[in-house]
Amino acid sequence: MFTRKSFGLMLTYLLLLSMFVLGCQSNQSQPAPSQDQAQGAQGTAAEPAAKTVSELKIGLPSDAGPINIYTGNIDYLTELVFDKLFSPSPYVDKPEPWLAESAKQLDDVTWVVKIRDGVKWHDGTPFTAEDVKFTYEYYRDGPANRHTHHVSEVPHIEKIELDDPSTVRFTCAYACPSLERITFADLPILPKHIWEKVENPRKFTDLPVGTGPYKLVEYKADQYYKFEANKDYFKGAPLVDTLVMPVIKDPTAIFNALRSGEIDISARPLPPELEASFTNAPNMKVAETSPLSIIELKQNYDKAPFNTAEFRNAMSLAVDRQAIVDTVMLGKGRAGLKGYPHPDSPWTNPNLSTPYDAEKAKSVMDGLKFVDTNNDGVREMPDGKPLAFSLKVPSTEPSWIRAAEMLKDQYAKVGVKVTVEVLDSGTMATVGQTRDFDLVISNIGAHGVADPDQFVMSHRSSYLWNKTIPYPEMDALQKQWMAETSLDKRKEIGFAMQELFNKQPTSVALFYPEEKFAYRSDRFDQWVESKGYGIINKYSLLPDGAKKAKAEQ
């Protein structure tokens, strides 16, 4: 017979059985977690850990060498390995302290930076203020790279000293009100114990040692990169253990690899004609970003008649940018009607305008005495030489080739003959170095078109102008800019420089591309945008705290 004790045991058994059944029913209503999801299932009830992934494959459209800063540079790859004093970049309103704890301006030319404690290099060596001092001096006094002008010329940091073991003092040669927001947010910090032994950085091919969230552990030129997570990263262990990045230069091949699952995301933005097919594909998503880049038509100011400001203006007026976007980009993107630099940069004059006006272009050319004397449809210069130029464009960019053909037709309408030359990427690189071109279509990224210091430097380094060639109006503005101690007033002078440039541009903004990245959401769906870097950036791969800080910028 039942006793009170046996009844209690039976009741306990029934309760346990009901809980088991309910649990089974609950489990049946949800799919089983994948191995990667299971890895990320740990964490507290109040704040569950982010989902982690064992490996991601990222297709790269180009090779940047072994990421040693001097032999090639793709910013988002450099960012995985190296850190800066402030992050993420000069392209946001206010970068946050990163390797620095704080920065303070003492006077017009002096800043002090407090260095974060407890950070280590990938080889276990402690990161110190000595590394910061060494890096800035190495950039200033050594061979040039894409970062060095931020120390050597625009701005020019005259002295770098240690106030104490964790404080670096920077003294500029002229006013430097933007040091925190620009220079400190752009320069990757190098390990002194390694780089002080490097005599020729352009021949240094060792794999890099940084403080960043990933270590480059394997690199095969033009084949692949392999990164492993830095589990001791001071902002938290990365969410992905291993990054494998095959180099797939052919545009068709890289998107075929994404479709087939050979890669999980393409670092090449999705062309407009493929967008629908990826958007509608199972387990695939398309992320839209705000890229800070310009597809530009460069005019060689070293050659006549491009060395004439009025002619460069006429060449800009003759370009129907909206027609190019509508036809070539299928309406995806913005016509370059705001000129150069990029309109989304916090440092760009919002009132810039570069309109299409073919009739005005003709009038300007008439005023220069560039007229069609033999009625063959092509104008001649006063010396009888026809306005006939080559337009070079890389074979790897089909949309640029189509844009070049449209430019050919648009220029024909104002009496300028253009012959399109499609060249391989190696030849195009040589063209850029030797300046052996009349016109060329290229892409200029965030560092070139969203960084105000670089806009000044581009007029001194030969990209937009060469400082050895007189340019009285721009030279006068640059002197004002360098003397100005107020960041807001310096910004106003920068706006005036931009207006001057766009009236006689050496680079014609064709369009601001709309970048969309296709990725396999079943493999990883935690991508976040970093302005100017797309979604493949260190923030995407860091824990939620760092992602939140990025979202709040």
pLDDT at 297 over 90: yes
d(CA 37, CA 40) in angstroms, rounded, equals 5
**Average pLDDT score, the chain:** 90
Residue 310 burial (CB count, 10 A): 15
Peptide bond into 305 cis (omega under 30): yes
Are 547 and 311 in contact by the 8 Å Cβ rule? The answer is no
Residue among 437, 466, 412, 432 at smallest CA distance from 303: 437
Better-predicted residue by pLDDT, 115 or 38:
115
Question: Per-residue pLDDT tens for 93-134?
Answer: 999 999 999 999 999 999 999 999 999 999 999 999 999 999
Q: Mean pLDDT throughout 136-143?
A: 95
142-188 pLDDT, tens digit per residue, is 999 999 999 999 999 999 999 999 999 999 999 999 999 999 999 99
Give the residue range(s) of CATH 3.10.105.10 domains in the chain. 294-513
- Please say if the pLDDT value at position 5 is more than 50: no
Please report the pLDDT score of residue 545 as a whole number.
64
Considering only CA atoms, which of 268, 259, 319 is closest in space to residue 439? Answer: 319
Section 438-446 average pLDDT: 96
pLDDT band per the 50, 70, 90 thresholds, residue 71: confident
Which DSSP state fits 126? B
Nearest to 539, CA basis, from 293, 285, 268, 238: 238
Q: What is d(CA 245, CA 224) in angstroms, rounded to the nearest whole number? A: 5
Q: What topology does CATH give the domain 52-81+212-290+519-552?
A: D-Maltodextrin-Binding Protein; domain 2 (3.40.190)
Q: For 429-433, 478-482, 509-513, 544-548, which range has the lowest pLDDT when averaged over its residues?
A: 544-548
- Listed range (11-20, 100-109, 446-455, 467-476) with the worst mean pLDDT: 11-20
The β-bridge partners of 265 are 58, 519
The mean pLDDT of 358-365, rounded to a whole number, is 98
Q: Are 127 and 120 in contact (CB under 8 A)?
A: yes
Whether residue 78 has pLDDT greater than 90: yes
From CA 123, how far away is CA 14, in angstroms rounded?
A: 58
Could you report the per-residue pLDDT of 221-232, keeping only the tens digit for each?
999 999 999 999
Q: In the prediction, which pLDDT does 24 show?
A: 34
Q: For 308-350, how does the pLDDT look when each residue is reduced to its tens digit (9 = 90+)? A: 999 999 999 999 999 999 999 999 889 999 999 999 999 999 9
Across the range 60-64, mean pLDDT stands at 93
- pLDDT surpassing 80 at residue 23: no
Q: Is the pLDDT of residue 33 over 70?
A: no
pLDDT on residue 50:
64
What would the pLDDT profile of 193-220 be if each residue is shown by its tens digit?
Answer: 999 999 899 999 999 999 999 999 999 9
Other Cβ atoms closer than 10 A to 247: 18
For residue 481, what pLDDT is reported? 98
CATH 3.90.76.10 domain range(s) in the chain: 83-196
Domain 83-196 homologous superfamily, CATH = Dipeptide-binding Protein; Domain 1 (3.90.76.10)
**Integer Cα distance of 256 and 226 in angstroms:** 21
The pLDDT value recorded for residue 333 is 87
Q: What average pLDDT score do residues 365-376 get?
A: 97
Taking the model in full, what pTM does it have? 0.86
Give CATH superfamily name and number for 294-513. Dipeptide-binding Protein; Domain 3 (3.10.105.10)
State residue 39's pLDDT score: 30
**pLDDT of 305 over the 80 cut:** yes
Q: Please say whether the beta carbons of 263 and 515 come within 8 A.
A: no
Tell me what pLDDT residue 199 has. 87
Residue 49's pLDDT is: 53
- pLDDT over threshold 60, residue 470: yes
pLDDT for the residue 52: 87
Query: What pLDDT does residue 27 have?
Result: 32
Confidence band of 499 (pLDDT split at 50, 70, 90): very high
Residue 199 makes CB contacts below 8 A (sequence gap 6+) with: none
The token duo for 515 is 């970048």
pLDDT value of residue 549: 54
CATH 3.40.190.10 residue ranges of the chain are: 52-81+212-290+519-552
